[in-house]
Structure 1
Amino acid sequence: MLLDGVNHVAVVSHDVTRLGEFYARVFDAEVGPTREHGPGETMTVIRIGPRTELNVFVIDGNTEASRQTPMWHRGRLDHLGLGAASQEAFDTIRGRLVESGASDGTVNDFGPVLSIFFRDPDGLEGEVVLPKTDAR
């Protein structure tokens, strides 16, 4: 397989402190620092496994976190981050994404990771992530 699982799930919250405390208390998760991510937007990484995170966004004026509806009516995730199994897998996936028209192939350097964004056939944004510790 080219992937080693889910790297992260991006979610919107109104109170990342409360959310982080919950995941730390219940799951022994590690809550990272909150950083500016854009105008009126912050991101906090909550590590829930050795290679899996929740990327929690707090966005001024965004009300999505308040929308609580029955199952199957909650909308879609913002995006899903998939973990590449290796540098070679990352390169293969990148080529296939470009070939399929799902990505322009731009590789982003986000400090500890490299990533490629794509759109699946349903329009859901995805991201393939490679920790720099696994990169050549």
Structure 2
Amino acid sequence: MLDGINHIALISKDVAKLGEFYRTVFDAEIGPTRGHGPGETMTNIKIGPSTELNVFVIEGNTETDRQTPMWGRGRLDHFGLSATSPEAFETIRARLVEAGAGDGTVNDFGPVLSMFFRDPDGLEGEVLIPKG
């Protein structure tokens, strides 16, 4: 019935920096920034064939400064992205290390390999690839 995630909405303090990170590491496509409400903008960052980050910058909002340990971050703790191939996984891994967004550690979680990263706003993400 479903075909993946359409978008994840998040708040950023610097959408240009965030967009450059996702473009550099994940080959994301950055859409235009447009007004979304008083003191608010929205930018779409396409991270896959049918998945986007809807990034909001809101004047005076400090939520991006509030990062706590895993499982203490609120309703959305982190998100996982699927690499398209083992080669893509390794390319992303190298780019994350180069960007200083991860240490390159690969976790073996049984059926998948995983690596964690933090984007420029401190949001934790994970990249996964099925084993085999």
TM range (shorter): 0.5 to 0.7
Structure 2: runs of 5+ lacking an equivalent: 77-132
Task: Specify which structure has the higher proportion of strand.
Answer: 1
Q: 2-side partners of 1:75 and 1:33: how far apart?
A: 29
Distance of 1:9 and 1:53 partners within structure 2: 6
Q: Which runs of 5+ in 1 are unaligned?
A: 78-136
What does residue 64 of structure 2 align with? 65
Name the Cα RMSD after superposition.
0.7
For 2:57 and 2:64, how far apart are their aligned partners in 1? 9
In structure 2, the partner of 1:31 is: 30
1:43 alignment counterpart? 42
The separation in 2 between residues aligned to 1:16 and 1:65, in whole angstroms, is: 12
1:55 and 2:54 aligned: yes
Count of aligned pairs: 76
Could you tell me how far apart the structure 1 residues matched to 2:12 and 2:59 are? 10
Q: What is the CA-CA distance between 1:3 and the residue it aligns to?
A: 1.2
- What TM-score, normalized by structure 2, do the two folds share? 0.56
Instruction: State percent identity of aligned pairs.
Output: 75
After TM superposition, the score normalised by the length of structure 1 is 0.55
1:19 aligns with 2:15: no
**SS of equivalent to 1:5:** coil
Distance 1:3 1:48 in 2: 18
Task: Measure, in 1, the Cα distance between the counterparts of 2:2 and 2:22.
Answer: 25
Written as runs of structure 1 = structure 2, the 5 A alignment for 1:114-125 is none
The letter for the 2-side match of 1:25 is T
The runs of 4+ residues in structure 1 deviating greater than 2 Å are: none
Highest Rg: 1 or 2? 1
Whether 2:55 is the aligned partner of 1:74: answer: no
Q: Which amino acid aligns with 2:5?
A: V
DSSP-derived class of the 1:3 partner: coil
